[in-house]
Amino acid sequence: MARYVLVHGGGHGGWCYQPVARLLQAAGHEVYAPTMTGLAERSHLLGPHVDLDLHIQDIAAVLHYEDLREVILVGHSYGGMVITGVADRMADRVGRLVYLDAATPVNGQSLHDVAGPVIDAARPFGQVVDGVELVLLPAPGAGAFYGVTDPDTIAWMDARLTAHPWKCFEQPLKLTNEDALWAIPQYHIVCTSTLATRDPGLIGKARAEGRLWDIDTGHDLMITEPRAVADALLQIAAG
């Protein structure tokens, strides 16, 4: 039995992994899909204290309090920042890192450094609420921004997407245990359309080592192609 911890991206919550989690659980595996502070069912905890470091602490706490080891730690989008930080702090508990169409940062980089043009495009549509700058504001049909086209799925997302603090996206990642971190096997499940924007050395190495899957779908591939994502995650566990 494998243990998966599925970390969501900006504006989402653990809810976005429901289709994938069901498939992994049906295959006999243990699945955790926590929501980070200030988002989804934890949006009532939003405040100026919410940043990348806090989100890393959120996920690290799941590993600690659930006593999880040899975890397959999966991060989508902004979640790539988070899982990298978690693995740096808790390398002894992480067996594999999976970047799900995610940011792949190095020490000192923020999400803005990694994906500036994409998130810069969203920033002008944000707003400041109670002193917190928020982006990815939910609005009818917002699922289309994440590459979702099915009307019923978009309606499901409309009821669940929440705004995200900009502070999370501009805070640099601080790594202190890089030898252990980069020794953890890394896997990449990406959208075909984003391949050309990624580090060719990283992608080439992953492809050569059989650690790359590309799926021809939108950015929220865990929602639009849950079976393909689950199949890749099952192969990672088996491999």
Which residues carry out catalysis? 77
Strands of 3-7's sheet, edge to edge?
A: 30-32, 3-7, 71-76, 94-100, 186-191, 212-215
Rounded Cα distance, 99 and 142, in Å: 23
Token reading at 45: 């905890």
Helix (H, G, I), strand (E, B) or coil at 54: helix
C-alpha span between 89 and 110 (Å, rounded)? 17
Please give the Cα distance from 165 to 184 (Å, whole number).
29
Rg of the chain in Å (alpha carbons): 16
In terms of Cβ atoms closer than 10 Å to its own Cβ (0-12, 13-18, 19+), residue 209 is exposed
Could you give the CA distance from residue 45 to residue 143 in angstroms, rounded to a whole number? 23
At residue 214's C-alpha, the angle toward residues 210 and 216, to 5°, is: 160
Environment class of residue 20 by beta-carbon count within 10 Å: exposed (0-12), middle (13-18) or buried (19+)?
Answer: buried
